[in-house]
Amino acid sequence: MRSSLAAWFRDEGYVVSTAAGGKQALEQLTGDGADILLVDVKMPGMDGLELQRRVYELHPGGASRPTVIIMTAYAAVETAVQALKEGAYDYIVKPFDPEQLSRLVRKAAERYTLLSENQALKQRIEAAAPHLITSGQGGMGRVFEQLEQVAPTETSVLVTGESGTGKELLARLLHARSGRRFGPMVVVNCGALAQGVLESELFGHERGAFTGAVGRHRGKLELAHDGTLFLDEIGDVPPKVQVDLLRVLEERVLTRVGGNTSVPANFRLITATHCDLGQMVERGEFRQDLYFRINVFCIELPPLRQRPEDIPLLAQHFLALFNAQTNRRIEGFSAGAMASLCNHDWPGNVRELQNAIERAVVMCRGAQIEQEHFPFTAATPDLSLSAMEQAHIRRVLAACEHNVSLAARTLGIDRVTLYNKMKKFGIDRP
Amino acid sequence: MKVRLRSLGSLAPAADVEHLLRGLPWPLSGQDEGPLEIDSTPCVDVVRGQLDAACLLQRLPSPPAGEALLVLTGHDLFLPALTHVFGASLLGHRRGVLSWCRLQLAPTPDPGLGRRMLIEATHELGHALGLVHCPVTHCAMHRTLWPEGIELKQPDYCPICRDLLRRLVQ
Same domain for A181 and A206?
yes
pLDDT at A378: 47
* Interface residue B133 vs chain A (CB under 8 A): yes
**Domain for residue A405, yes or no?**
yes
Same domain for A71 and A176?
no
Long-range contacts of A73-82 (CB under 8 A, 24+ apart): A73/A41, A73/A42, A76/A41, A76/A42, A79/A41, A79/A48, A79/A49, A80/A41, A82/A49
Collect all residues with Cβ–Cβ distance below 8 Å to B69 and sequence separation of at least 6: B3, B4, B6, B60, B61, B63, B94, B95, B96, B128
Residues in chain A: 430
Q: Is the bond leading into A95 cis (omega within 30 degrees of zero)?
A: yes
Same domain for A115 and A170?
no
Residue B116 pLDDT > 90:
yes
Please choose, from the candidates A171, A182, A178, A170, the residue with its C-alpha nearest in 3D space to the C-alpha of residue A229.
A171
For residue A350, what is the enclosing H or E element?
A: helix A349-363
* Domain count for chain A: 4
Same domain for A186 and A234?
yes
Domain map (residue ranges) of chain B: 2-169
What is the mean pLDDT for each group of 10 consecutive residues in chain A (430 residues)? 80 84 85 84 86 85 80 77 88 87 90 85 76 73 89 94 89 91 91 84 85 82 92 92 92 88 91 92 93 94 87 90 90 90 89 92 91 71 80 86 88 90 81
User: For residue B154, how far is the Cα from the chain centroid?
Assistant: 15
**Domain for residue A308, yes or no?**
no
d(CA A187, CA A220): 8
Q: Is the bond leading into B107 cis (omega within 30 degrees of zero)?
A: no
Neighbours of B34 (CB within 10 A): 10
Same domain for A183 and A258?
yes
Res. B158 pLDDT band, cuts 50 70 90:
very high
pLDDT at A322: 92
Q: Taking the CA of residue A281 as centre, how many other CA atoms within 13 Å lie in the half-sphere pointing to its CB?
A: 13
pLDDT at B162: 94
Same domain for A223 and A109?
no
Neighbours of A123 (CB within 10 A): 10
* DSSP 8-state class, residue A340: H
Superfamily of domain B2-169 in the CATH hierarchy = Collagenase (Catalytic Domain) (3.40.390.10)
For residue B75, what is the enclosing H or E element?
A: none
Kindly state the percentage of chain B with pLDDT values over 90: 67
Residue B112 pLDDT > 80:
yes
What is the DSSP code string of A283-317? Answer: TTSS-HHHHHHH-SEEEEEPPGGG-GGGHHHHHHH
Q: Please give the residue of chain B at the shortest CA–CA distance from A96.
A: B82
Please choose, from the candidates B44, B18, B42, the residue with its C-alpha nearest in 3D space to the C-alpha of residue B31.
B18
Contact B145 A95 (CB under 8 A): no
Question: Residue A107's domain spans which residues?
Answer: 2-124
Out of A8, A12, A95, whose CB is closest to B78? A95
**Domain for residue A430, yes or no?**
no
Contact B145 A12 (CB under 8 A): no
Res. B3 pLDDT band, cuts 50 70 90:
very high
Q: Which residues in A78-194 belong to E strands, given as ranges? A: 90-93, 157-161, 185-189
* Interface residue B143 vs chain A (CB under 8 A): yes
**Domain for residue A115, yes or no?**
yes
Contact A96 B81 (CB under 8 A): yes
**Domain for residue A47, yes or no?**
yes
Same domain for A176 and A286?
yes
SS3 content of chain A, % helix, strand, coil (to 5): 55, 15, 35
Q: Please give the residue of chain B at the shortest CA–CA distance from A5.
A: B81
pTM of the model: 0.57
Same domain for A397 and A358?
no
Region of A57 (left: φ > 0; alpha: ψ -120 to 50; beta: rest) is alpha
Burial B103-130 (b: 16+ CB within 10 A, else e): bbeeeeebebbbbbbbbbbbbbbbbbbb
> In chain B, which residues have their Cβ closer than 8 Å to the Cβ of A96?
81-83
Same domain for A271 and A181?
yes
Please choose, from the candidates A336, A402, A342, the residue with its C-alpha nearest in 3D space to the C-alpha of residue A372.
A336
Q: Is the bond leading into B27 cis (omega within 30 degrees of zero)?
A: yes
Are B53 and B87 spatial neighbours (Cβ–Cβ below 8 Å)? yes
SS3 category, A211: coil
Choosing from B37, B67, B120, B124, the catalytic residue is: B124
Are A183 and A228 spatial neighbours (Cβ–Cβ below 8 Å)? yes
* CATH number of the domain enclosing A159: 3.40.50.300
Active site residue B124: yes
Report H helices in chain B.
14-23, 53-59, 113-128, 147-150, 159-169
Are A214 and A226 spatial neighbours (Cβ–Cβ below 8 Å)? no
* Interface residue B83 vs chain A (CB under 8 A): yes
Pairing mode, if any, of strands A368-369 and A332-333? Answer: parallel
* Interface residue B79 vs chain A (CB under 8 A): yes
pLDDT at B99: 95
What is the DSSP code string of A4-20? Answer: HHHHHHHHTT------S
Burial A267-277 (b: 16+ CB within 10 A, else e): bbbbbbbbeeb
* Interface residue B47 vs chain A (CB under 8 A): no
Please choose, from the candidates A9, A39, A8, A33, the residue with its C-alpha nearest in 3D space to the C-alpha of residue A21.
A39
The pLDDT tens digits of the residues spanning B36-68 come to 989 999 999 999 999 999 999 999 999 999 999
Contact A1 B146 (CB under 8 A): no
**Domain for residue A306, yes or no?**
no
**Domain for residue A25, yes or no?**
yes
Check if the interface score ipTM surpasses 0.85: no
**Phi/psi of residue A298, nearest 5 degrees:** -115, 130
Res. B25 pLDDT band, cuts 50 70 90:
very high
The pLDDT tens digits of the residues spanning B63-100 come to 999 999 999 999 999 988 889 999 999 889 999 999 99
Same domain for A181 and A286?
yes
d(CA A57, CA A59): 5
